[in-house]
Structure 1
Amino acid sequence: MLSDPSEPRSGRLAAWGNALLAGAVSPDDAAEAIVGDDAVHRVVGLPGESGPVGLTLALGRLRSLGVRGWRVALPVPGHPLGLSGPPEFNRRALEAEEAVVGYGAPYGLVPQVHEAGSPGDLHVEVGWECLSVREAMPADVPSLGEAERELAEGLREATATLSQLDVAASGPVAEAAIDAYRARAEAGRAGLAPGYPPRAVRVWELAQRVGLLVSLAYERGHGGAVSAAEMAARGEALRPVERVARRARVAAYNSYVEGLERGV
Structure 2
Amino acid sequence: MLFEPRSGRLAAWGNALLAGLVSPDEAVLSIVGEDAVHRVEGLPGESGPVGLTLALGRLRALGVTGLRVALPAPGHPLGLSGPPEFNARALDAEEAVLAVGAAVGLVPEVYEVGPKGDVHTTVTWHCLPVREAPPADVPSLGEAERELAEALREATVVLTRLDVAGSGPVAQAALSAYRARAEASARDVLAPGYPPRAVRVLSLAQRVDLMVSLAYERGHGAAVAASEMAARAEALRPVERVARRALVAAYNSAVEERERGRD
Identity across aligned pairs (percent)?
76
Partner of 1:232: 230
Structure 2: give runs of 5+ residues left out of the alignment: none
Q: What does 1:1-264 align with in structure 2 at a 5 Å threshold?
A: 4-165=1-162, 167-170=163-166, 174=171, 176-184=173-181, 186=183, 191-221=189-219, 223-263=221-261
Amino acid at match of 1:54: G
- Cα distance in 1 between the residues matched to 2:184 and 2:160: 32
Segment drifting more, 47-56 vs 225-234: 225-234
Q: CA deviation at 1:231?
A: 1.2
For the residue of structure 2 that corresponds to 1:131, the secondary structure is: strand
For the residue of structure 1 that corresponds to 2:189, the secondary structure is: coil
- How many aligned positions are there? 260
| Maintained 8 Å contact 1:7/1:190 | no
| Maintained 8 Å contact 2:3/2:209 | no
Amino acid at match of 1:170: G
- Cα distance in 2 between the residues matched to 1:205 and 1:226: 30
- Cα distance in 2 between the residues matched to 1:244 and 1:61: 34
Provide closer, same or farther for how the CA distance between residues 184 and 152 of structure 1 changes in structure 2, counting only shifts above 3 A: closer
- Cα distance in 2 between the residues matched to 1:150 and 1:84: 23
Amino acid at match of 1:210: V
| Maintained 8 Å contact 1:19/1:194 | yes
Amino acid at match of 1:209: R
| Maintained 8 Å contact 1:106/1:134 | yes
Segment drifting more, 168-177 vs 241-250: 168-177
Structure 1: give runs of 5+ residues left out of the alignment: none
For the residue of structure 2 that corresponds to 1:66, the secondary structure is: coil
Deviations 1:93-136 (A, max 9, x none): 11111100001111110101111223432211101111111111
- Cα distance in 2 between the residues matched to 1:175 and 1:122: 26
For the residue of structure 2 that corresponds to 1:121, the secondary structure is: coil
For the residue of structure 2 that corresponds to 1:263, the secondary structure is: helix
Provide closer, same or farther for how the CA distance between residues 153 and 222 of structure 1 changes in structure 2, counting only shifts above 3 A: farther
Q: CA deviation at 1:157?
A: 0.8
Q: CA deviation at 1:164?
A: 2.5
Could you list the structure 1 runs, at least 4 aligned residues long, displaced by more than 3 angstroms after superposition.
171-176, 184-190
Provide closer, same or farther for how the CA distance between residues 197 and 172 of structure 1 changes in structure 2, counting only shifts above 3 A: farther
Q: CA deviation at 1:184?
A: 4.3
Cα-Cα RMSD: 1.9
For the residue of structure 2 that corresponds to 1:101, the secondary structure is: strand
Provide closer, same or farther for how the CA distance between residues 161 and 72 of structure 1 changes in structure 2, counting only shifts above 3 A: same
Amino acid at match of 2:63: G
For the residue of structure 1 that corresponds to 2:153, the secondary structure is: helix
